[in-house]
Amino acid sequence: MKILLTGKTGQVGWELERRLPPLGQVVAFDHASLDLADPDQIIARVREVRPGLIINAAAYTDVDRAESEPELAMQINAAAPQTLAEEAKRLGALLIHYSTDYVFDGTKPTPYLETDPPNPISAYGRSKLEGERAVQASGCRHLVLRTSWVYGLRGRNFLLTILRLARERRELRVVDDQVGAPTWCRDIAVATARLARESAARETVGLFHLTAAGATSWYGFAREILETSGLGASVMSIPSSQYRSPARRPANSLLSCAKLNAWCNIELPEWPDSLRRCLADERISNDPIGATGPPGIRTAVDRVSVSVVIPCYRCVGTIRRAVASVAEQSLFPAELILVDDASGDGTLNALRALQRDFGEDWVKVLALRENVGAGSARNAGWNAASCKYIAFLDADDVWHPRKMEIQHAFMQAHPEVALSGHAHRRIADGESVDAALMQQGFRMVSRWELLLSNRFVTPSTMVRRDVTQRFQAGRRYMEDHLLWLEIASGGLKVARLTDVLAFTYKAPVGDSGLSARTWEMRKAELSNFWYLYRTERLGFVATVALCGYSLAKHMRRVLFLARR
């Protein structure tokens, strides 16, 4: 599928261009290559690309200037979306279009619903409302997403303004009687990519609200920015009457997102959490003052020092789904290593296509000459990795969108931990990933706990690259359990995070695939115990006791399967 993206240099568009490739070939335009004030140019570009998905992330967003340029605002925010919608209908494409809280007058005391009547009080708001209506009236498949108070580390927005002013002044004066939900552009892009993936095959028509959870005023937002960034300026609250501007703003910009959550289980994080993520990892840059962003703030996609390794064997039908879950992480891993385990089908070509989509600077593809099994394939990726940490994912599984952020932050905060894993959940094909997090914390895992039970599925694990142990070559069963045992037996710390951050599509043990071979799996566990005994890391009595316990577990499993 081809995807036409407008506004690629804007806040949301810039993020989208980096998260859409798993869905297809992205053809992205900025203002220089596509002037939305020119309908003939819009038509020509769409007909050249012939996309299956159009995402309109471009808009006239200068709220005050729109008061003196209402015709231009109307042309870009209303006429252009109408043209895009008409072309989408002609092609049978899905159109995703963004709108704003400014379609409301802000007099409602509670969050606005999609069914509340709009009543814009500015030229900008009126132009955006007309754009909404044009898309809805076109008859094309569409999603209209209203959002609010968008910010990020690019372009012009409230966050960058406060960071700049805090370096220039000792005291800032900010309005405290307008409330809303500051929404990070990356959260919008990640949610949009997921919506696009899940909506591509539907007869989709809908208007939804998409904002961060929680509420604050501009003054509260400014205070949180200063506290999180560590800048020393103070901030004073003022009423809107003391801040004169050409355009009126809604006093209440809160939008209820309950409809979107009920429709596809998407709920953005609380706004302070997203702000901290925006300003947190690797934020100090070498950009000179006056570069593309404020001094001291990184303007590239946040990339954490993690190499993701995915062993791939005859996975043409699932690998794009797995890679999409990596691409949609709230913090990007620095590199993705795809290891083809001599599949002999179209898998290697699929991996090369993903490499072309994302670029060779991020995706590495290793092609093994002979089939060596998942463990040895992971070792090949591990040995090729360049980052501080290694995270493993299987080609038929997916991650929670904040897995990288949460687990990397844990490893950074606990440098004594060599291996961490987390809870996981089995889901069925077509089932949505549950984005809810309990944030229950973590606990250390002892060697004896690992001996009694394999506490981690491989897609849940992250390990320090400097760990010397590896998956044992040639093993096809329980090689992951042996590695965890070797790490723990070497005196290294192991921890388990309690949140569900990985989702596996594998059947329960005993139903299909490798897990159906219960006796082979059990023999491998017994072999693990005797290997530790032979290498003098487990005593004889303990080995015999563990083997007896393992056989008892096997008999219980056999009896359970026989009764089903």
For the annotated catalytic residues, the residue numbers are 124
End-to-end CA distance of the chain: 43
Angle at 301 between CA 297 and CA 303, to 5 degrees: 100
Task: Quickly count: other Cβ atoms within 10 Å of residue 137's Cβ.
Answer: 10
The Cα 354–Cα 58 span in angstroms is: 27
The DSSP code for 78 is: I
Phi, psi torsion values for 531, nearest 5 degrees: -65, -45
The Cα 139–Cα 43 span in angstroms is: 17
457: nearest Cα among 523, 508, 493, 388: 508
**DSSP sequence for 108-120:** -SSPBPTTSPP--
Q: Which segments of 23-69 does DSSP mark as H helices, in order?
A: 39-49
Reading the block at residue 62, the tokens are 């200068």
Reading the block at residue 408, the tokens are 């990397």
398: nearest Cα among 502, 317, 316: 502
Reading the block at residue 468, the tokens are 């010397």
396: nearest Cα among 501, 320, 342, 462: 320
The Cα 87–Cα 134 span in angstroms is: 12
Distances (CA, A) of 55 to 66, 83, 94, 98, 466: 23, 13, 8, 9, 43
- Residue linked to tokens 């360049």: 386
Task: Quickly count: other Cβ atoms within 10 Å of residue 512's Cβ.
Answer: 11
The Cα 130–Cα 136 span in angstroms is: 10
282: nearest Cα among 266, 303, 261, 264: 303
Bridge partners of 205, per DSSP, are 142
The Cα 143–Cα 207 span in angstroms is: 6
Residue 175 is inside which H or E element, if any? strand 171-175
- Residue linked to tokens 């905060």: 413
SS3 at position 345: coil
SS3 at position 541: helix
Task: Quickly count: other Cβ atoms within 10 Å of residue 563's Cβ.
Answer: 6
Q: How far is CA 514 from the centre of its chain?
A: 30
